[in-house]
Structure 1
Amino acid sequence: MTSPTRDSAPTPGPDSGPTPGPDSGATPGPDSAPAAGPDSAPIPDPAAGPTPPPGCPAHSGRAPAGERLESLHGPEFAADPAATYARLRDHGHIAPVELSPGVPVSLVTSYQTALDILRSPETFSKDARHWQALADGTIPLDNPVVPMMMYRPNALCSDGEAHHRLRAAISDTLDRLDIHALRRYVERSADFLIDLFGPKGEADLLKEYSARLPLLVFQQLFGCPPELSDKLVRALSALFEITEDSEQANVLLAETLFELIALKRATPGPDMTSWLIAHPSELTDEELVHQIVVLVGAGTQPQQNLICNGLLLLLSDERFAGALAGGTMLIEDALNEVLWKDPPLANFCIHYPRHDVTVDGHRLPKGEPVVISLAAANNDPYLLSNRRGNRAHLAWSAGPHTCPAKDPAQVIAAVAIEKLLDRLPDLELAVPAEELEWRPGPFHRALAALPVRYPRTAAKSDEALAEMVAAATATGAGAVGSTPPVAGKNTGQAGETSSHDGPAGTAPSADDTDSSATTSTATAPQSGSEHEARRRWWKSLAQWWRRG
């Protein structure tokens, strides 16, 4: 890629100043310098053509007058996105598209160009307040893609110091997760869900498994008590189904999270909500809600797509037939191939040029959205084709906004698939793969359903339910990690710290924590009434989902 060329001087403002650097703790990968080996970035084919000169009509970043923009929001695109990407490559490395009626953007389809833009925060901002068409009312707030693109005070939509502060809170919180405890909870959640549909002999794995499992995992990770878990699960289910109740679900979600934060401020526990509250960044309640929504949003819809797309590949591709019978191809290989070829977020990583700039001969005006096609970039024809074992795909983004939760996300997906195939070894698609439908939408790569059949299997029933209750109870005893310090408490007793099971955590110091109080809270057994409340909640959840 040619280096971005400034077409006009930047307007002085809050974005002028030092170049923001990558956040500390950013996950190595495509945003770090490539090294030789299987994890290095794919090598462009030497046959790649030269960069077109600035001003070339085919590479202006805009469609010729009178030409209809390629649509990314219709059923045709959902059915065959590869054909759309192939046509867009006729424009060069960047092409004009329509995300939604009346919302034109520049879509990056080249791997190297995408990588360079993702690594250039000094030129490309993540802050949607730069989006001029939204600011001046050209694009109305009720456009369906605006909620996914508008500014929110979270790490995803911030730059520079603000981004560094918010991302540090998220990264440090994720670092405290005990991956082994996470794996155990995913297994229990999977068993619980499989028990609901296992005796039927058929299921829609999207609705009955992949969409529900992340919700169970997240209510555990964020330490939701039964009275809030019910509201959280129902709100998220309605929100991601985009039903007529979505607006009410959004309100319910916000109310529930504010209630959860108030609860955790009063009685912190070994969970991600409490860790975010206790972080030195001292997030406000509003900031806490927005960071939790980002984590939950990224860990539910994309997570279910990763699980479903991985299952589809395993069940439909003959290369993986041996893996289902204990062969050599691993589930991780299938997930890696999905992340290359069918990433759960196909088009995202929205950026806004800080000033008019020319990239690879394409003029990108200040404040007009630039969207990275993670799917098109990963399948750039100029990349070498052998990708097995190569983790340099862009499914987790790159640069300072690399996804900080990629390791837990891969654990959840891998364990979910492994447990399902272990419980239902003769699982098979109920319809040919080519007959499956994909949900329309510019951002995701998502199946509309994943119908399967299998020999009926007996439910573990009370055993699985008891394990779920035990897992929920164990959260209060430190199964996920260590209890964070309670603000303002100081015993003055050196050397007393609370335990932490997470691989990257450190015990809070005596200066920060009332250790004896923390320890007694973390290890106190749950009362019979509390245990029974959790058991009733899991039973009611099972009944509700069975009715669905």
Structure 2
Amino acid sequence: MDAESTALVPPPGCPAHGTGARIPLYGPEFAADPHAYYDYMRQFGATTAVELAPGVEATLVTDYTAALQMLQDPASFRKDSRRWRDLKEGRVPADSPVLPLLAYRPSCMFSDGVEHLRLRQAVTDSLARVDSRRLTQRTQQISDYLITQFSSRGSADLVGEYAKQLPLFVFTELFGCPADIGDRVLFGMSGMFDGVNAGKAAEVLVQATADLVTLKRTKPGDDVTSWLMQHEAGLSDEEMAHQLALLLGAGAEPLRNLLGNTLHRLLTHDQYAHRGGLISDALDDTLWDNPPLTNFLWHYPAGDMEFAGTKLGTGELVMVSIAAANNDRVLTAARQSGSNRAHLSFGAGPHACPSKEIARHIIVTAVENLLNQLPDIELAVPSDSLTWRPGPFSRSLTALPTRFTSVQAVQRPTTQQSRQESPAREEFVAPPRKSERGGLWSSFLSWLAK
């Protein structure tokens, strides 16, 4: 058998093997080695017929040039999922785990044209007001708080105990959530992306953001929620609630994955052994090779068309494989020449991520703080024993077990003066007892107030 015919063999364990069926983007086989699937898909051209979940069909764009063309052509490819043909015609299971993410909401991610411009401008202008110094300080404080939960133990799961929680905390703070609302926001975001009763979790998140809007109408603050509310775009309460749910959810889940995947890269690649000055490099390499969102950026053709050699029908679900496009051979030369930001991990075109600089800032700060406090941290298990969460959209580990020299906790400064003298670093502080009534955010706020 020659090399070309060998390349056409589906990855081991692929349920589509030899059947001509759509290639599934879920299950343990896909999670274990998605790039084997992408390599197989490329043999068929720029697009491939896939299944996102049982009964949910889509066309996946794996070619970088084709993906960029689609993302930059909002006239031909729309974002409003009320156009989704299969959903309108009842072919998508009502309990499908992908619906909480793909079903329409009145937010900039699901809008087109003038309406998208109005909502997007409000979001962009509000996020632009985030002060980088405040962001650094808050990220370090949250990082310190999380590290104190495991630093004296000498071991930690950096996914469950650090990467999963830190972005949730940072965004909850940036949006000015008080304790009770913050606890529900964290619950909603975690549940929606983890797929555990995702529909209920989405409801909790939207209701929490609606309550936050009601609060900020009467008590505005120095936070993204208040700035968004005060924007000249004049967002309604419903638009505010869904915009906040979008920003909180879309910010927290990708950042969770990006932080975990960057830490994974630092701990498993020899080139980062000394780590000094290499955190930004590890972050960029992760965005290229192991992006936090692998298959996302959904669109719907505005009419029947031929695209990249494939016939697409009006309202057909088309999605970009960010991971496959980033590793397209056409980008090899650009990446080697130093064009390190040409990847699609933050999207492109009118719907590109509006908070990519905030995201980079949070990740670099969180990684630096962790490595400064636990400089000898290392992987506690063989790297090939690590497992990845299944699912079509995200790329993240189920756990990242590590070990390090345990650190003795010290008492937290209790006066306002001592806090002002060391605003950016409050290391190795003994954690409080978790309130019986409060949740994660309440516990952090109690710790911060001491």
Quote the offset at 1:241 in angstroms: 3.4
Report the counterpart of residue 379 of structure 1 in structure 2: 327
Paired with 1:225 and 1:293, the residues of 2 have a C-alpha distance of: 16
Q: Residue 123 of structure 2 is aligned with which of 147, 156, 170?
A: 170
Give structure 2 stretches of 5+ with no counterpart. 1-15, 425-434
**TM-score between both structures, scaled by the size of structure 1:** 0.72
Instruction: Tell me by how many angstroms 1:224 deviates.
Output: 1.5
2:12 alignment counterpart? none
SS in 2 for 1:194: helix
* Per-residue deviation, 1:465: 11
Distance in 2 (alpha carbons) for counterparts of 1:131 and 1:143: 15
> How many residues end up aligned between the 2 structures?
417
CA contact (8 A) 2:118 2:233 kept: yes
**After the TM superposition, which residues 13-412 of structure 1 pair with which residues of structure 2 at under 5 Å, given as runs?**
67-244=20-197, 246-323=198-275, 329-384=277-332, 386=336, 390-412=340-362
Distance 1:106 1:240 in 2: 22
CA distance in 1, matches of 2:420, 2:104: 40
> What runs of 5+ residues in structure 1 fail to find an aligned partner?
1-62, 475-532
- Supply the distance in 1 between the matched residues of 2:184 and 2:158 (Cα, whole angstroms): 23
The separation in 2 between residues aligned to 1:408 and 1:166, in whole angstroms, is: 19
Question: For residues 408 and 430 of structure 1, do their structure 2 counterparts lie closer, same or farther at Cα, with a shift above 3 Å needed?
Answer: same
CA distance in 2, matches of 1:214, 1:390: 24
1:233 offset after TM fit, Å?
A: 2.8
Change beyond 3 A, Cα 1:353–1:319:
same
How far apart, CA to CA, are the structure 2 residues paired with 1:469 and 1:378?
44
Which residue does 1:451 correspond to in 2?
401
Does the 8 Å contact 1:191/1:464 carry over to 2?
Answer: no
Letter in 1 for 2:53: S
Contact in 2 for aligned 1:331/1:414 (Cα 8 Å): yes
Maintained 8 Å contact 1:357/1:365: yes
**How far apart in 2 are the matches of 1:97 and 1:205?**
32
From the CA coordinates, give the structure whose radius of gyration is larger: 1
Query: What is the aligned partner in structure 2 of residue 513 from structure 1?
Result: none
Say whether the 8 Å CA contact 1:127–1:159 is kept in structure 2: yes
Q: Structure 2 counterpart of 1:541, which letter? A: S
- Contact 1:107/1:370 (<8 A) preserved: yes
Correspondence for 1:11: none
Q: Deviations over 1:224-255 (max 9, x none)?
A: 223333333344334443334x4444333233
Q: Deviations over 1:139-164 (max 9, x none)?
A: 13321112222211111111100100
Q: Given the superposition, is the C-alpha separation of residues 238 and 109 from structure 1 closer, same or farther in structure 2, using an over 3 Å criterion?
A: closer
* Contact kept in structure 2, 1:374 and 1:394, CA below 8 Å: yes
Which amino acid in the other structure matches residue 414 of structure 1? V
Alignment of 1:428-443 (within 5 A): 428-443=378-393
The one-letter code sitting in structure 2 at the alignment partner of 1:339 is L
Which secondary structure does the structure 2 equivalent of 1:384 belong to? helix
CA separation of 1:437 and 1:461: change in aligned 2, threshold 3 A = farther
Q: In the alignment, what sits opposite 1:477?
A: none
- Structure 1 CA distance for aligned equivalents of residues 114 and 353 of structure 2: 18
What corresponds to 1:20 in structure 2? none
Which amino acid counterpart does residue 247 of structure 2 have in structure 1?
Answer: L
Q: Cα distance, 1:467 vs. partner?
A: 11
How far did residue 219 of structure 1 move? Answer: 1.9
Is residue 427 of structure 1 aligned with residue 372 of structure 2? Answer: no
Equivalent position amino acid for 2:377 in 1: L
**Other structure's SS at 1:434 match:** helix
Distance 1:464 1:126, change over 3 A: farther
